[in-house]
Amino acid sequence: MLDADFFIRWMTVTAASVDREAERLTALDSPIGDADHGTNLQRGFRAVRDALEKEPPATPGAVLTQAGRLLISTVGGASGPLYGTLLRRTGKALGDAAEVDERQLAEALRAGVDAVMQLGGAAPGDKTMIDALVPAVDALGDSFAAARAAAEEGAVATTPLRARKGRASYLGERSVGHQDPGATSAALLIAGLVDASADGEAGSE
């Protein structure tokens, strides 16, 4: 079972990997975006990490809804409302249970991904974070490791796509040949699930 501590670890290890990868995310965002994805997400996840550290919420749902709310208010770019909606909706779907199992997390995350698709109007193949998140959620039923691999594959697979959403969509063919920064950061978020399990007590997965 996964408790609030697991979800706090998930957010904390994600904040650490966003810190570590911020420059790479911004570099990916410079040819096809406005070159702020890394710094924007870094600001948001640092705010999440600090808030969770100061006042840790008691349930998995509360951890994710608070994290989502903070991302919406601190990121400053489109990734704020998109990641914020993902985590908030996932958190709401988890309800106020003290512990949830992997299957409940997978279902809740699917609800979160659906909400992001609705908010941004994006579908798989549009060269967005959805291209990492949808395969990750599909694989989450097997294991966190399978979800991580699926998200990373999904992110890499955005490279030959032509962007149909966001600023990159204005570039048309020129968006082809660049890995999508949003799909790349989404893969970091999903990878955090594995790290949060490995850091935690044995048998939590």
Partner 1 sequence: MSDGKLVGIVLVSHSATVAASVAELAQGLAGAGTAVPVAPAGGTESGDFGTSAELIAAAAASVDRGAGVAVLTDLGSAVLTVKALLAEGDELPEHTRLVDAPFVEGAVAAVVTASTGADLAAVEAAASEAYAYRKV
Please report, as ranges, the residues that interact with partner 1 according to CB under 8 A.
34, 36, 40, 69, 72-74, 76-82, 84-85, 88, 119-120, 166-167
DSSP letters along the chain, please? -EEHHHHHHHHHHHHHHHHHHHHHHHHHHHHHS-S-HHHHHHHHHHHHHHHHHHS--SSHHHHHHHHHHHHHHH--STHHHHHHHHHHHHHHHHTT-SEE-HHHHHHHHHHHHHHHHHHHT--TTSSSTHHHHHHHHHHTTT-HHHHHHHHHHHHHTTTTSPP-STGGGGGGGGGTTS--HHHHHHHHHHHHHHHHHHHS-TT--
Give whichever of 5 and 69 is closer to partner 1, judged by the CB atom.
69
CB of 98 closer than 8 Å to CB of 59: yes
The distance of closest approach from Cβ of residue 22 to partner 1 in the complex, given in angstroms and rounded to an integer, is 16
Separation CA 64–CA 189 (nearest Å):
12
The distance of closest approach from Cβ of residue 89 to partner 1 in the complex, given in angstroms and rounded to an integer, is 9
Give whichever of 42 and 197 is closer to partner 1, judged by the CB atom.
42
**117: which strand partners?**
none
The distance of closest approach from Cβ of residue 11 to partner 1 in the complex, given in angstroms and rounded to an integer, is 18
The distance of closest approach from Cβ of residue 88 to partner 1 in the complex, given in angstroms and rounded to an integer, is 8
Give whichever of 40 and 59 is closer to partner 1, judged by the CB atom.
40
The distance of closest approach from Cβ of residue 182 to partner 1 in the complex, given in angstroms and rounded to an integer, is 12
Give whichever of 60 and 120 is closer to partner 1, judged by the CB atom.
120
The distance of closest approach from Cβ of residue 115 to partner 1 in the complex, given in angstroms and rounded to an integer, is 8
Give whichever of 18 and 116 is closer to partner 1, judged by the CB atom.
116
Give whichever of 73 and 159 is closer to partner 1, judged by the CB atom.
73
